[in-house]
Amino acid sequence: MKGVFANLARQLRDSKVRAAYAFIALPLFLVTVFYWIPGVSTITLSFFKYEIVKPAEFVGLKNWIRFFNDTKVLASIWATFIFMLGHVPVIVVCGLAIALVLNERWFKGRIIARTVYFLPMIVSTVAAAVVWNWLLNPAYGIVNRFLEAIGLEKQNWIKDPVLAMPTVIFVSIWKNVGFYLVVFLAALQGIPSEYYEAGRIDGTNRWTEFWYITLPSLRFTMAFSPVIGVIGSFQIFEQVYIMTQGGPMDRTRVIVYHLWWTGFQRMRMGYASTMAVVVFLVILSITLIQLRLYREK
């Protein structure tokens, strides 16, 4: 330890090093206060029974054992997987498809279209969910009025056990597709034009160009995008909180919403912390797998 402090003291004699430490001091302080300390506290609380109004009581692994035997937790994990399976493939395919169209030179107004698709990403998720609640309102929503105008029945989009989860998935796709569009568009524009010129000399058509040139060139982006989508699926909360409150019949009670409900509605902070740690471990595992795959490539 003496060697470490001696080396640090030697570095601090350099004015440039002091300036560098001064620049990172505030961000490091904020990260410590708002990320590391709450993170360590959450892990610690996962081993306690803590209900805010009562002193914390150490219970060891009881919260963890309860987690893996709690039917509501299992149902919320299942709801999260359903959301993920409906959200990730569609948003990746839609992002790629739109990017392919916007990357074509013949498409006029590409900049405007790009902006329009990316705008929902800038909008607050809470604000977007509130707007969609109005649009999908069964009594006076524009969507149901349109259905009536073309002779179809009105739907109770967010109260129907069958339609609630697809509705939340649709709003999430609408909100986030702009991000995937930008990622794929950047990757497409990074493909050297020489590849396509060589392909045309060999007699390729649009389909073979896409299959043998475009897709192989996008392999890293195609690997990255689903992983980001899966991580985002395990973090979904605002849409569910604003639109469905986990209903109807718990069909949209995803794991993060159930975590919030357990901690802030039932005041079981220790058990909610256990859920938070599990979600963190799942996301960490996915991230480490992604890093391992990229390191091998």
Could you tell me the pLDDT band of residue 184, with boundaries at 50, 70 and 90? very high
Q: What is the pLDDT of residue 297?
A: 59
CA–CA gap between residue 135 and residue 144 (Å, rounded): 8
Which of 41-45, 134-138, 189-193, 271-275 is least confident? 189-193
User: What digits encode the pLDDT tens for the residues 91-132?
Assistant: 999 999 998 888 887 777 777 888 888 888 888 899 999 999
Residue with tokens 């707007």: 131
Could you tell me the pLDDT band of residue 276, with boundaries at 50, 70 and 90? very high
Domain with CATH 1.10.3720.10 in the chain: 63-296
Could you tell me the pLDDT band of residue 134, with boundaries at 50, 70 and 90? very high
pTM for the predicted model, two decimal places: 0.85
CB of 73 closer than 8 Å to CB of 67:
yes
Architecture of domain 63-296: Orthogonal Bundle (1.10)
User: Average pLDDT, stretch 26-40?
Assistant: 90
Q: What is the pLDDT of residue 296?
A: 60
Q: What is the pLDDT of residue 218?
A: 87
For the chain, what is the largest distance between any 2 Cα atoms, rounded to a whole number of angstroms?
80
Q: What is the DSSP string of 17-59?
A: HHHHHHHHHHHHHHHIIIIIHHHHHHHHHTTEE--SSS--EE-
Q: What is the pLDDT of residue 53?
A: 79
Q: What is the pLDDT of residue 21?
A: 78
Could you tell me the pLDDT band of residue 3, with boundaries at 50, 70 and 90? low
Listed residue (138, 87, 129, 133) closest to 237, CA to CA = 129
Could you tell me the pLDDT band of residue 203, with boundaries at 50, 70 and 90? confident
> Is residue 1 over pLDDT 60?
no
CA geometry: angle at 227 spanning 206 and 235, to 5°? Answer: 130
> By percentage, how much of the chain surpasses pLDDT 90?
37
Provide φ and ψ at 57, rounded to 5°: -125, 125
Q: What is the pLDDT of residue 258?
A: 94
Q: What is the pLDDT of residue 110?
A: 74
